[in-house]
Amino acid sequence: MTKPIRKTLATLAVLLAGLPVATLAQEANIGTSFVENFDKINRKIWYISDGWDNGAHQNCTWSKKQVAVQNGVLELTFEQRKAGKRDYACGEIQTLKRFGYGTYEARIKTAEGSGLNSAFFTYIGPTDKKPHDEIDFEVLGKDTGKVQVNQYISAKGGNEKLVDVEGGANAAFNDYAFVWERDRLRYYVNGALVQDVTDPAKIPVNAQKIFFSLWGTDTLSDWMGKFDYHGPATMQIDRFAFTAPGDKCQFPESITCKL
């Protein structure tokens, strides 16, 4: 190794050593700003979950057949159909890349039905050789008049808050957004700030993948309601956007245009 290269590496090591742990955690494989209008499913961005479930609490198997685009809207469906080990099939889509600090915005019309969960969230965990970090919007079909916000830090949750969705999350499209910074996490519903987290111990630090999912349960009835199937259910996503810190807002209605 030549002397200039050794000097460069030594300088880099000193610079990295001075960075906070949270900053270092955001460095690898970070996605850039983008807007997804779901004219199609871009396989360079999205991966469709297919052929497994997330555990005994989930009464459906992820199936690519439950994921489709119709008239510029992503549709995730839940239906009674034998799939894998389950009697029901459900839909999920996730990004291939991880994303870090920035603004995450989704325009969603949720499903209804007790025992169902329409979720927009970010997640990373042990399967990616990282701690379990997560940031959530979840509408439980037992009460579509509310959305639950929550976050996990190294698998520790307990930060749930129920927020009203005027008119019902299933009745029309609503806008859900969070702004994730190293020292602050803000949740918005239809442009209104509904949760402001400033305790560093309650803010995730690891870059995460972006998920949309619709699933059901037979066992988590205290939380999601008793499962009560009345036919196929659909969650619709009209638009998603990620805006990295410092980038301009990417569409007129974006919360980043107002902040």
* Paired sense of beta strands 184-189 and 67-70, if any: unpaired
CA 121/CA 37 separation, integer angstroms: 18
Query: Among residues 36, 75, 79, 138, which one is catalytic?
Result: 138
Active-site residue flag, 166: no
Residue whose C-alpha is closest to residue 153's, from 112, 115, 203 = 203
Residue 153: DSSP 8-state: B
Q: What is the DSSP string of 1-31?
A: --HHHHHHHHHHHHHHHTS-HHHHHT-TTBP
For residue 68, with 0-12 CB atoms within 10 Å meaning exposed, 13-18 middle and 19 or more buried, which class applies? middle
Q: Is the distance from CB of 135 to CB of 122 less than 8 angstroms?
A: yes
Structure tokens belonging to residue 194: 């509904």
What's the one-letter identity of residue 200? P
Active-site residue flag, 134: yes
Half-sphere exposure of 105 (CA within 13 A, CB side): 27
Query: Among residues 134, 160, 181, 253, which one is catalytic?
Result: 134
Active site residues: 134, 138
